[in-house]
Structure 1
Amino acid sequence: MNPSDLIALIETNHLVEKVLTIERNAFLKTAGSIDTHIYFIEEGSLRVFVVDGEEERTIRFGYQNNILVSLDSFLTEKPSEFVIQAIKKTRVRVIPKKGFMEFLHQDENHLKLWVKILEDLVIQQIEREKDLLTASPKERFERVLKRSPILFQEISNRHIANYLRMTPETLSRLKKS
């Protein structure tokens, strides 16, 4: 079983509580709120960010067929400073934590799948941290392009540049070279 199987399991086990449509630039989650839902993105794109003084710092993106969650709030059931905003009109399936946790504990394979997904997420975050701390803008761009080429089709340069911690002009130069 691999992480892509989770989507099929969500469907088969009727874990979706509702479907939401979020208009472009509208917020799915705001800073300081508790959000224990898992979101499966049917169409559109979302970004997760935090506000650092006057600046927004993009942490993650989600687009069609991705699962997105405010993981800290999901795990602790406490407020999170993460903001989730629609970059374009987006439709998500909402999976509540309670039903999801019951589903996980029904079968050891479900729990193993969830652990695998969390492990993959931790590895992705470690790689991202390492990139931001040690890699040049060119290296960061190349690694993201290799890891997620669809990102450049789904997300605007302005948001990608923010995610990569560079100016839009630098990103534009790197894309041309």
Structure 2
Amino acid sequence: MSILQKLLNSDLFKKKMTLSRYQYLSIEAEINTNIYFIESGSVRIFIRDKDEERIIRFGYFGNIIVSLDSFLSGKPSDFFIQTLKKTEIRMASKKDFYEFIHSSDENLKFWILILEDLVLQQMEREKDLLINSPRERYERVLKRSPQLFQEIPNKYIANYLRMSPETLSRLKKS
């Protein structure tokens, strides 16, 4: 049994929630120290920059998501987490999650792997934003996360890639 299966079969993610389309799981300036597993549906994590939303991450089936700044610091988050369609999640508190990961070396290694993966994803994201060509950004994300294009509407992917929906549409067609 994988550690993720063990995690899901444990009593850790006790609380199940069904959220409707466009419902907020977390909002800016709110302290949110819960950790979530997405059973179905999809979410976007974004920040507001004046009047613009800037998407920094997506989550869909099988992903663990968290308002990481608030989870780690216990302080209000700068981010929003919003569903993009009806989404079913399982939730665990930080306290319960930390008890779980400290209950065995295997569980602690799992948490370290999650954190390492997040750091690597963030590094890839920064590379994406530094690459000038919209085509290169599109191709890198398509290669890294092909499922994204099945789960997430194009207008949100375009925002994530820092391009217009029309540019994304042209790139997908070519």
TM-score using structure 1 length = 0.95
Q: How many residues align?
A: 174
Q: Deviations over 1:70-95 (max 9, x none)?
A: 11111111101110001001010001
**Structure 2 residue 141 is the aligned partner of structure 1 residue 144:** yes
C-alpha displacement at 1:109, in angstroms? Answer: 1.5
* Distance in 2 between residues matched to 1:167 and 1:85, nearest whole Å: 21
**Structure 2 residue 10 is the aligned partner of structure 1 residue 23:** no
Q: Deviations over 1:32-53 (max 9, x none)?
A: 0011111101111000000000
**Structure 2 residue 95 is the aligned partner of structure 1 residue 98:** yes
SS at match of 1:166: coil
* Distance in 2 between residues matched to 1:165 and 1:6, nearest whole Å: 35
* Distance in 2 between residues matched to 1:13 and 1:132, nearest whole Å: 38
TM-score using structure 2 length = 0.96
From 32, 44, 62, give the equivalent of 1:47: 44
**Preserved CA contact (<8 Å) 2:131 2:137:** no
- Identify if the C-alpha distance between structure 1 residues 104 and 134 changes in structure 2 by more than 3 Å, giving closer, same or farther: same
CA RMSD between the two structures: 1.2
Gaps of 5+ in 1: none
**Preserved CA contact (<8 Å) 1:158 1:168:** yes
* Distance in 2 between residues matched to 1:61 and 1:24, nearest whole Å: 15
* Distance in 2 between residues matched to 1:103 and 1:69, nearest whole Å: 16
Tell me the residue number matched to 1:127: 124
**Preserved CA contact (<8 Å) 1:17 1:96:** no
Q: Deviations over 1:74-133 (max 9, x none)?
A: 111110111000100101000111111011111112111111110111011011101101
* Distance in 1 between residues matched to 2:139 and 2:131, nearest whole Å: 14
**Preserved CA contact (<8 Å) 1:74 1:97:** yes
SS at match of 1:165: coil
Gaps of 5+ in 2: none
Tell me the residue number matched to 1:11: 8
How much identity, in percent, do the aligned residues show? 60
SS at match of 2:84: strand
> Which runs of at least 4 in structure 1 moved beyond 4 Å after TM superposition?
none
